[in-house]
Amino acid sequence: MKKILKFSLFIFLAFACPIIIYYQEKKIIDIETSPDIMQQQYDMEQNFLNDIEEHTLDNPKVILNPYGISPLTALVIFKTNDLATPTVTIKGDDELSTFEHTFNQDKIHMLPIYGLYPDRENEVIISIKGEEKTIKIKTDPLPDSFVLPTKVTANKELLSDDLYFFTPSSLGYTCAYDVNGDVRWYLNDYFIWDINRLENGHLLLSSNRLINNPYYMTGLMEMDLLGKIYYEYQLPGGYHHDVYEMPNNNLLVASDNFDSGTVEDYVVEIDRTTGEIVKTFDLTKILPTEAAKSENWVEYDWFHNNAVWYDEATNSITLSGRHQDAVINIDYKSGSLNWIIGDSTNWPDEYQKYFFTPTQDDFEWQWSQHAAMILPNGNVFIFDNGNNRSKIKEEYVSAKDNYSRGVIYKIDTSNMTIETVWQYGKERGSDYYSPYISDVDYLDENHYIIHSGGHNTVNGEVSNSPAGLTDVDNLNSITTELLNDEIIYEIELPTNNYRVEKMNLYDRDIYSPGMGVKVGNMGITKTDGKRIFIFLPKNGDNIIDKYKISFEKEADRLVFKGTFSKEDQVSIILNRLSSQKVYNLVISNKPYAAMCVDLFNQDNNSNEINVTKYINDLGLNDRYEIYLKINGKIYKMNKAVTFY
């Protein structure tokens, strides 16, 4: 009877609480937390700032790549007895590749040095009140995988000393080239999407971590050109493609609502101070998701927004839906639809009133466009990728006969008419054709950049597909700067680049030491809501190699990776005495038909699928032992993770 009672009590406790009772065969190892990039940078900073009072202009302290991710920069530190205003000159090969900047008055001088050449002893001159100090800074060679220009054309009489900042979508680094095509800045960590310059002079880039495949990042990072990160902005839906700094300094972000089952149809506004999402725009509530399908349309990525632009004059937001060949404008206050630029074929009758009527006989619509923006005069500037140039399959234009272009439309929203007022690229034919990515930029009146960033060939033929989705034999991007319709600069690179921005090295940013700040969060990772009874689990060491299992603890989440087949059913179990969290894995080799950057190298025909699961720390605050349930069997991984 006593044995029956003891066994009954054991069963009751096992189901009442997820307690595991078994013979302890192996010590449970706690997964160490990998250092956070901002913590790493702060630790580096404390080391090089510990003796700044000992250095003078005659004996300055020089730290190359002070924050570990920007190899062609340095920090020069010294003290003067009186207030002084130093000027720095970074010597280049000619006048336009030589940079000069005067810093604010101070006694303690911490001078960021930008624009060093790679693999060279760079000459930097510091001038104070007529006194000069020349220092030599030796840099390392570029990585072997670095992409260098194949062609540069420059009319230097019409150019400035600004650099051209690129973000890659295939091979390459986030980097900047000068007017001679020489590399003068790059980041050795992976930051994608656009580079924006904020009003405070800092750069705004994507974070360097995924929140979801194939290319959705955890958020955004605000940094200077030294690579010092001042803020990391995290979002539950992550970030992709584009972001806009609002007049109130908030950020308008192309994000996702992963719970909806669709992607790239959600825009949020975040408060820069708190990270709070203060406004959302859900395009599934504004547009029909089944209308006007382009060739790349799929149910889960029906719109594929690749641009965000706020226009203060009309208090409206302009977005670019690649998979509907539509540039749309919505009211910022109400979120209601104002207008649509594009071919109205296959749109429902109730939406026809939002379309424009061309006033020119030879007018052409844009197709699978990118980088839509509103110009100061109200015109609309777009990169027209040109995919197929029709919604009717029988009328598709082949890639070899196609072209891409930058195009400016003038719209009349009272009469709902549209006309083309400027374009460039059509005359260059298929050599300028990019079926994906690419960019346009307005520099001044009649002064533009057209970036055809996604040209590629397959078996010697111009391709109609993004490079990441096919076996290409050639990649190319062409960036053209035009002034009054004259090419004053052009650079070709043997890769595909997402976007390009022309910017000065020294802007309004002021270097400031200190710990970077995280704002916002990535949300609570949903569990399946069920509890799993664990009894005599198997030893998980036996399956690590079979499924290529790994765990990594980041400062704010647990990262699980494994390789499974479509038929496998897998759950991650985090277990402690009084509670249990169960996370089911979604195992899918879903083809990403419009992939804009080549992060997701999954063979869609393979039965082996690489799976990553991110478990955020929000809502977790304890030490958990880790188990896996694979196809009905439970494995003890002999590992534990602690969330603080």
Give me the DSSP letters along 6-74. HHHHHHHHHHHS--------SPPEEPPBPPPHHHHHHHHHHHHTTTGGG--SSS-EEEESTTSS-TT-E
* Distance set, CA 344 to CA 59, 335, 374, 408, 418 (Å): 68, 21, 21, 19, 13
Per-residue model confidence (pLDDT) at position 574: 97
Pick the closest to residue 630 from 538, 557, 558 (CA basis): 538
CA–CA gap between residue 37 and residue 189 (Å, rounded): 11
* Distance set, CA 598 to CA 101, 303, 471 (Å): 37, 20, 12
- Average pLDDT, whole number, for the chain? 93
Beta-bridged to residue 154, according to DSSP, are 489
Describe the strand order of the beta sheet including 370-374 as a list of residue ranges. 357-358, 417-424, 405-412, 380-384, 370-374
CA–CA gap between residue 510 and residue 112 (Å, rounded): 9
**639 Cβ partners below 8 Å, 6+ apart?**
28, 29, 30, 31, 551, 625, 626
Q: Is the peptide bond before 214 cis (omega within 30 degrees of 0)?
A: yes
Domains 18-36+524-642 and 51-138 share a fold: yes
pLDDT digits (tens, 9 = 90+) for 310-347: 999 999 999 999 999 999 999 999 999 999 999 999 99
pLDDT for 17 beyond 60: no
Pick the closest to residue 74 from 91, 84, 62 (CA basis): 62
Pick the closest to residue 518 from 617, 619, 614 (CA basis): 617
pLDDT digits (tens, 9 = 90+) for 59-117: 999 999 999 999 999 999 999 999 999 999 999 999 999 999 999 999 999 999 999 99
Pick the closest to residue 420 from 364, 482, 355, 340 (CA basis): 364
Pick the closest to residue 342 from 320, 362, 366, 370 (CA basis): 366
Q: Is the dihedral of CA 397, 399, 403, 407 positive or negative?
A: positive
Domain 151-507 adopts which CATH fold? Neuraminidase (2.120.10)
pLDDT for 370 beyond 70: yes
> What is the pTM assigned to this prediction?
0.94
Number of CB atoms found within 10 A of residue 201's CB: 14
pLDDT for 251 beyond 60: yes
277's tokens: 């999402």
Superfamily covering domain 51-138: Immunoglobulins (2.60.40.10)
DSSP state of 149: -
* Distance set, CA 97 to CA 183, 278, 488, 601 (Å): 11, 43, 16, 38
pLDDT digits (tens, 9 = 90+) for 442-472: 999 999 999 999 999 999 999 999 998 888 9
Mean pLDDT of the region 466-480: 92
CA–CA gap between residue 288 and residue 298 (Å, rounded): 13
2's tokens: 């006593």
Q: Is the dihedral of CA 281, 286, 287, 290 positive or negative?
A: positive
Mean pLDDT of the region 223-242: 98
Per-residue model confidence (pLDDT) at position 606: 65
Per-residue model confidence (pLDDT) at position 16: 45
CB 51 within 8 A of CB 203: no
Could you say which architecture CATH assigns to the domain 18-36+524-642?
A: Sandwich (2.60)
Per-domain boundaries in the chain: 18-36+524-642, 51-138, 151-507
Question: Counting beta carbons within 10 angstroms of the beta carbon of residue 289, is it exposed (0 to 12), middle (13 to 18) or buried (19 or more)?
Answer: middle
Q: 601: pLDDT confidence band, cut at 50, 70 and 90?
A: low
Which of 103-112, 279-288, 334-343, 523-532 is least confident? Answer: 523-532
